[in-house]
Amino acid sequence: MQTIKTQLQPPDFEDEDQNALARTLNAVLLVGIGGALVSCAIVMLVVSNPLGALAFYGGLSLSLALLSLLLRRGLVRLSIVLLVILVFGSAVSVVTARHEARQAFMEHQIELEERDALNLEWTQLQLEQATWATQARIEATARDRLGMTRLTPDRIVYIEEGLWER
């Protein structure tokens, strides 16, 4: 427990300006590490395929822990510079992720429109098939194109049973 307390407290330096920077940076790093770990846990619970997000948050947590280690070794200014670079890199990745999400959304909308157009065409084809397959349409086509007529009882020829035998 004492080790955890020691790790959570900011390092103590002789220079008061460096102490102020170290306290501020330590607070930022601890909040960042905590936020990254909480985000990582939420992603694991919510997302179905969390590997990409877990890699991002895991890398972020490790980077912040490394910055905390540099801070404890007295490299306050280097820790600040690396934190600024890390924040800038995170901002760029957020912009990239948003752009990719918008692209995916636009592609999804195009696919939905194509699906709707295909559904409409399918419905029209079903109606056309139903129209062509009606009994009245078939009879009219047989009468007009093939010259067929409706069978009347006087045109029916009955064949006796014995005539079929050879």
Model pLDDT for residues 144-154, shown as the tens digit of each residue: 888 888 888 88
Token pair for residue 120?
């409409």
Answer with the residue of higher pLDDT: 68 or 54.
68
Q: Is 81 helix (H, G, I), strand (E, B) or coil?
A: helix
Selection from 37-46, 122-131, 157-166 with the highest mean pLDDT: 122-131
Token pair for residue 15?
């220079």
Whether the Cβ atoms of residue 21 and residue 71 lie closer than 8 Å to each other: no
pLDDT of residue 38: 74
Q: What are 125-161's pLDDT values in tens digits?
A: 999 888 888 888 888 888 888 888 888 888 887 777 7
Q: Which residues of 132-143 are buried (b: 16+ CB within 10 A; e: fewer)?
A: eeeeeeeeeeee
Residue 7: CB atoms within 10 Å: 13
Give the C-alpha distances (Å, rounded to integers) separating 64 from 11, 57, 107.
16, 10, 36
CA angle 136, 141, 147 (to 5 degrees): 120
Answer with the residue of higher pLDDT: 7 or 24.
24
